[in-house]
Structure 1
């Protein structure tokens, strides 16, 4: 279990993380989300003992990371996949880590196979692609068979097969009762992988909830309506948010399909299509973090 309590980090006059509190529990995949500059990387570094909090504390299984006598066997982490000596092979890199904790060679071979790197295990890391580097970083994170896994952007650089592998791996780790915390900017992947979400913006907690609850709370679900009398139907749906996708196609938010259908039937408005559109995690995230975005592009 990971716990952050009143976690705060300042650099001079700049507060990067402000009174952040949350708990990451075992048995589920927790997505750690936020726009660029939200303080995600700083928070992860404080959890892993790489940065000292200005105030508050972060613990793993009740202890600060540095207090664990054999940290690799408690917490496996991937923050920067390229933090490997380029002249080493994948096998030598993992063996060097293994020697620090008395981890047997068989475990090194096991995680290399798990990451799909057996065939390149003795090649120098400097020749690895971005995706291969990510796989090596994940292999290193799993080396100590830890109960807690912390991964920052694990699918970065992976091809579709690799993304599917990561998704399956994370869910399997959680199913084994491990604590899994994953930071990502890919909302579509988080929607498929995460059970729980922690969302921060400008260093503060914005949401600590499930994927379904966040999407539901956003109110982003809509209904696609196709009718030759789109303009007339608009006047029959007061209070709804309506946008036109085409002259005969409306996207209606704020009303359910049956309500729209009854209003159309009552005024003899023909409907060619009435299709509920599921709200997306991406839209819910954008709505939640709209005021916490550090860099915002202008429309073309």
Structure 2
């Protein structure tokens, strides 16, 4: 697992990561989310010992990355797929990495096959497409059969078949009991594969929760259909609960679940013919949570410019 405690990184007077604490647990895919400039890349670099924390600490399987005699067996990471000498072949690159840890050629062949690179294994990496480079980076991350896998934007440049492959691979890795940390800007993909979420903004922890709990906390409420809206509304109102009427026999209720609304209606003999949670997507929940944490914010789209 990955354990960060009060992790902090400053560059001069700028705090990039601010007392960040979280745990990436075995058997789960943890989505690591945040706007551009939130500090995700810096955090992942500190996990790998590429950047030294200003304060706090981060451990992989109980030790700092540098404290492991064979770190590729502990954590495999993809941070920058293009950080490979362009003159090397895929098999040459992986073989060089394998030799640093005494990993045999058989394992090199296994990860090449796993990543679907068999047909290009002996071609120069400099001629690879972005998607092929991503596959090579993932093969390198899995080379040491690590207990922890950390991937930054792994589906970048992949075609639909590649995206499906990544989705299934992440589920398989977590199912094998590995801890998986996935950083991505693609909320739809994250929603499909992540069991847990760590969301940061301006280097600070905003949420450490499950996908379901984050979305539920951002629900627009429950749409209630009843012929007795005028009677049911006051029965539902209370501290932390808002009830609005559409005027056509529908109520919009925030602060109560559909089950709680049904219980109130039943207790007072009110017939309800619709209870529909008006949920939001992970993307909408994320945007709501990080609205005030954006370092870069686009201006609203305007109409056609006059010339």
Which TM-score applies when normalising by structure 2? 0.83
State the partner residue of 2:182: 182
What SS class does the counterpart of residue 146 from structure 1 fall into? coil
2:78 is matched with 78
Q: 1:222 to 1:280 in 2, by over 3 A?
A: farther
State the shift of 1:296 in Å.
1.1
Secondary structure class of the residue paired with 1:101: coil
Local SS of the residue matching 1:69? coil
What residue ranges of structure 2 are gaps of 5+ in the alignment?
226-233, 266-272, 302-307
Deviation at 1:223, TM superposition (A): 4.7
Aligned partners of 1:221 and 1:278 also within 8 Å: yes
Q: Deviations over 1:131-172 (max 9, x none)?
A: 110000000000000011011111111111111111110110
Alignment size in residue pairs: 288
2-structure distance, mates of 1:241, 1:15: 43
| Partner SS for 2:137 | helix
Distance 1:30 1:12 in 2: 31
Checking the alignment, whether the CA contact within 8 Å between 1:16 and 1:39 is kept in structure 2 is: yes
Other structure's SS at 1:278 match? coil
TM-score, normalising length: structure 1 = 0.85
Give 1:228's aligned residue.
none
Give the SS at the match of 1:110. Answer: helix
Q: Could you give the per-residue CA deviations for residues 63-92 of structure 1, whole angstroms, max 9, x where no partner exists?
A: 000110011111100000000011111111
- 1:197 aligned partner: 197
Summarize the Cα distance change of 1:219–1:99 in structure 2 as closer, same or farther, 3 Å threshold: same
Residue by residue over 1:182-207, the C-alpha shift from the partner in whole angstroms, topping out at 9 and shown as x without a partner, is 11111111110000111111100111
Matched, 1:67 2:64: no
* SS class of match (2:22): strand
- Residue in structure 1 matched with residue 290 of structure 2 by the alignment: 289
Contact 1:214 1:284 in 2 (8 A): yes
**Distance across 2 between alignment mates of 1:15 and 1:37:** 11
- Within a 5 Å distance, the mapping from 1:1-300 to structure 2 comes to 1-220=1-220, 223=223, 239=242, 254=254, 276-300=277-301
Measure, in 2, the Cα distance between the counterparts of 1:275 and 1:113. 47
Cα gap change, 1:132 to 1:224, in 2 (>3 Å): farther
Is the CA contact 1:220–1:280 (under 8 Å) kept in the aligned structure 2?
A: no
Task: Using the TM superposition, give the Cα deviation of residue 14 of structure 1 relative to its aligned residue in structure 2, in angstroms.
Answer: 0.3
Q: Does the CA-based 8 Å contact 1:224-1:277 persist in structure 2? A: no
Query: Residues 219 and 279 of structure 2 are in contact (CA less than 8 Å); yes or no, is this contact kept in structure 1?
Result: no
Q: Secondary structure at the match of 2:100?
A: helix
Describe the shift of the 1:56–1:201 C-alpha distance in structure 2 as closer, same or farther (beyond 3 A): same
Structure 1 residues 241 and 115: alpha-carbon distance in aligned structure 2, compared to 1, 3 A threshold? farther
Cα offsets for 1:206-235 (capped at 9, x unmatched): 11111111111112356599xxxxxxxxxx
